[in-house]
Amino acid sequence: ETNDLKSELLIIGAGPGGYVAAIYAAKKGLQVTLIEKEELGGTCLNVGCIPTKSLVKSSEICHNVKNSSLFGIKAETDIQVDMKQVIRRKDEVKEKLVSGIGYLMEKNEIQVIHGDASFLSANTVSVNGEKNYRISAKNIIVATGSKIAKVNIPGIDLPFVMNSTDALSCAELPKSITIIGGGVIGMEFAFIYRNLGVEVHVVEFMDRLLTMLDRDISEEIAHSAQQAGIHIHTNSKVSKIQRADDDQAIVTYEDAKGEHLLVSDKVLVAIGREPNLDGLEIEKSSIQLNERGKGIAVNKQMRTNVEHIYAIGDVTNIMQLAHVASHQGITAIDAILGESSEMHYSAVPNVIFTSPEIASVGLLEDECRERAMDYSVSKVSFASNGKALTMNESEGFIKLIKDTRSQKIVGGSIIGPDASSLISSLTLAIANELTEQQITQTIFAHPTTGEVIHEAAFGLGIGALHQA
């Protein structure tokens, strides 16, 4: 039996793109139907941002307890990690948030349907779940997110090989792990495992870690990783994974010097995600993919080539970030309501939860160089920051880039304590085109790590006050 429904706005996928768009649309008076085949919250809440950060917290506590005597606190010497409880706590955090979204859906009178959505035509979508529906919709937003990219490494299906989703539910702490991929997900897990006492190797194909960042930031995090005891192998290509007689994993990689073997309990493959169009039958909707054939092509209002169909979030393959997905959702709703907002990507913060944390926003130094801009750079370290020293986290620096013609701050990177929070003020500065002077004239609280932003702004002019 198929139930026929009509909807003013149909959203496919309830990740941070789809569910935020649904709430915003409902608040703006639209009648919304939201379809989700798994859990509300999507990748971000269930197997992405939130669960990883919950593990980051557990691992930081482990690290802090190990170092507690430095602070004058004598804690237990025999530290044990109860990985089952680490995972249980992560699940509790996730469940709290997922049920919170359910509550928000109810309060905003959003009709949530659980099931698999696929296009029947440009206006009609079928949903197969416990009940089956055929929904004709005036406007449709595709927010089906991304999936783990497939890789062709021989041995990838061996039982000790995990992807990020497997790792998030692995309640057994390995003694050693080889992580394939030194990108965001790989590096977050590298520090999670290392801080929990695991021996970690990271194998990266490129010549440096975290290639989306400026080179000096990559170098600084590689240094921190090495100090923490993480083994980094760059310029290295994994050729195969095998099982040893004692069931250990053997990862073979090649670099300029030849072939090398790494033996470990587990292998984590973290080499990327790609747009998820599985089962959608988008050909029936006539919407087109972007030129690389990956992801749905959209304009600045998130509209596809079909007038009433929009796409937002990871499925567009523009930027794989939860806050970008949400903002694109809001932009799409504005477009549906005939408002003129457009997406701009010049001030999107990007945070990586390593130890220390990394965050960046706006232009990178490399980008300024490529654009042949007149720019200047100021770099101030946390070493002389009082608050950072009290925290025993004085490694790292803040870097600001200014356009010397306009005096405006166009980019900023932070590697160091509180980077994930500090980036918000740099984002406000760049989004609102503040100048170096407007920052130096602002009063920053003392003692805080944010004072380094103030110092870095002085560094663009007369020089940082607390640096010789």
Catalytically annotated residues: 446
Question: How many angstroms separate the CA atoms of 227 and 347, rounded?
Answer: 32
Does position 35 interact with ligand FAD (CB under 6 A)? The reply is yes
Q: Which two tokens stand for residue 212?
A: 């989306």
DSSP 287-335: PPB-TTSSSB---TTSB-SSTTEEE-GGGG-S---HHHHHHHHHHHHHH
Q: How far is the CB of 388 from ligand FAD (least distance, A)?
A: 23
Kindly tell me which residue out of 32, 101, 187, 322 binds ligand FAD, with binding defined by CB under 6 A: 322
In the 3-class helix/strand/coil scheme, how is 70-125 assigned residue by residue? HHCCCCCCCCCCCHHHHHHHHHHHHHHHHHHHHHHHHHCCCEEEECEEEECCCCEE
Kindly tell me which residue out of 10, 13, 387, 414 binds ligand FAD, with binding defined by CB under 6 A: 13
Q: Site mask, ligand FAD, residues 197-236, x = CB under 6 A?
A: ----------------------------------------
Q: Which amino acid makes up residue 239? A: S
Q: Site mask, ligand FAD, residues 392-421, x = CB under 6 A?
A: ------------------------------
* Residue number with CB closer to ligand FAD (322 or 336): 322
- CB-based contacts of 16, cutoff 8 Å, min separation 6: 41, 42, 44, 45, 313, 322, 323, 325, 326, 329
* Residue number with CB closer to ligand FAD (20 or 434): 20
Region from 80-88, 307-315, 354-362, 365-373 binding ligand FAD, contact rule CB under 6 A: 307-315
Q: How far is the CB of 92 from ligand FAD (least distance, A)?
A: 18
Does position 323 interact with ligand FAD (CB under 6 A)? The reply is yes
Does position 164 interact with ligand FAD (CB under 6 A)? The reply is yes
CA angle 143/146/148 to nearest 5° reads: 165
Length of the chain: 468
Phi-psi region at 111: left, alpha or beta (left = phi > 0; alpha = psi -120 to 50): beta
Kindly tell me which residue out of 8, 60, 91, 116 binds ligand FAD, with binding defined by CB under 6 A: 116
* Residue number with CB closer to ligand FAD (313 or 450): 313
* Residue number with CB closer to ligand FAD (15 or 362): 15
Q: Which two tokens stand for residue 351?
A: 């945070």
Does position 280 interact with ligand FAD (CB under 6 A)? The reply is yes
In the 3-class helix/strand/coil scheme, how is 230-262 assigned residue by residue? CEEECCCEEEEEEECCCCCEEEEEEECCEEEEE
Kindly tell me which residue out of 54, 264, 304, 320 binds ligand FAD, with binding defined by CB under 6 A: 320
* Residue number with CB closer to ligand FAD (348 or 456): 348
Q: How far is the CB of 253 from ligand FAD (least distance, A)?
A: 23
Query: Please, are residues 54 and 26 in contact by the beta-carbon 8 Å criterion?
Result: no
Binding positions for ligand FAD, rule: CB under 6 A: 12-18, 35-38, 42-44, 47-49, 52, 116-117, 143-146, 164, 185, 276, 279-280, 313-315, 320-323, 325
